[in-house]
Amino acid sequence: MILIDGKKIADDIKAELKATVEAHKTKTGKAPGLTVIIVGDNPASQVYVRNKAKSCVEIGMNSDVIELPNTISQTELLDKIHVLNRDTSVHGILVQQPLPKHIDDFAVTLAIAPEKDVDGFHPENVGRLMIGRLDECFISCTPFGVVELFKRYKISTSGKHCVVVGRSNIVGKPMANLMVQKLDFMNSTVTICHSSTPDISVFTRQADILIAAIGKANFITAEMVKAGAVVMDVGINRVEDKTAKSGARLVGDVHFESVSKIASAITPVPGGVGPMTIAMLLSNTLKSFERTLN
């Protein structure tokens, strides 16, 4: 069984990005810039934003975090995004989710210029992904990270049956769209399952490649997995654990202890797909910067 080490691969990618950023600085005197907007004081969001900013600094990118109060109006937030759209030193714009209920998430997504939408959520980027113009779009970072793990571990996906459990706009849908593309480390036959699928196990047991992104702790058990399958666990769930100092621990959507005994390869949680998300965000930001140079 191969334990897929996403943290190591993410570190390798960041080292590669750092070398490229330094080369650009030497040649042009310029560096990629990522601006993250966070609205309110959600503790989990603050941790994610700090990690993103820290990773930017580590590889030599410019990083800016704009902290806004929960009371900000949608119009005021959109105005700030429009200013960043016009700022030539900013190559990536990310608005941290979740947003306050009085702000329309989709309006915020539409406001970000597609060429700076390094999260890959704008309909223009989603559409280009759908029709296979991958070199002309930004790919949603978590699915992008999963495909990169397939590449780095040389896991064959062509012609394989890939079952995606989950249909979110952030992971499930773009993941399925990626895996069906006629390219290396994709090119799969794809099935999507979700919360309204009766007896999901009928489909998951057929999967050569199983990608779990349903947001339910330990949802995928050994009885639901075909022996020898490759299992990519995208879920991050906090569950009670009285033995842990914090009283809780992180687990995925896959019951790792049982599934790891029959899978040919599997990602752990934490340390699997999670670190890849930030690595691919940085990769998208560098890509945006390089487009401006050309």
Distance CA 290, CA 41 (A): 33
Number of C-beta neighbours around residue 280 at 10 A: 25
Clarify whether 96 is annotated catalytic.
yes
| Residue 150: closest CA among 284, 9, 259 | 9
Residue 168 phi/psi, 5° resolution?
-70, 160
Distance CA 283, CA 278 (A): 9
* Tokens 């119009």 found at: 75
Catalytic position from the list 5, 14, 52, 208: 52
Clarify whether 119 is annotated catalytic.
yes
Catalytic position from the list 5, 117, 119, 253: 119
Catalytic position from the list 5, 14, 80, 96: 96
Distance CA 151, CA 267 (A): 14
Clarify whether 7 is annotated catalytic.
no
The four Cα atoms 161, 164, 167, 172 give a dihedral, to 10 degrees, of -100
Q: Percent helix, strand and coil across the chain, each rounded to 5?
A: 40, 15, 40
Q: Which residues carry out catalysis?
A: 52, 96, 119
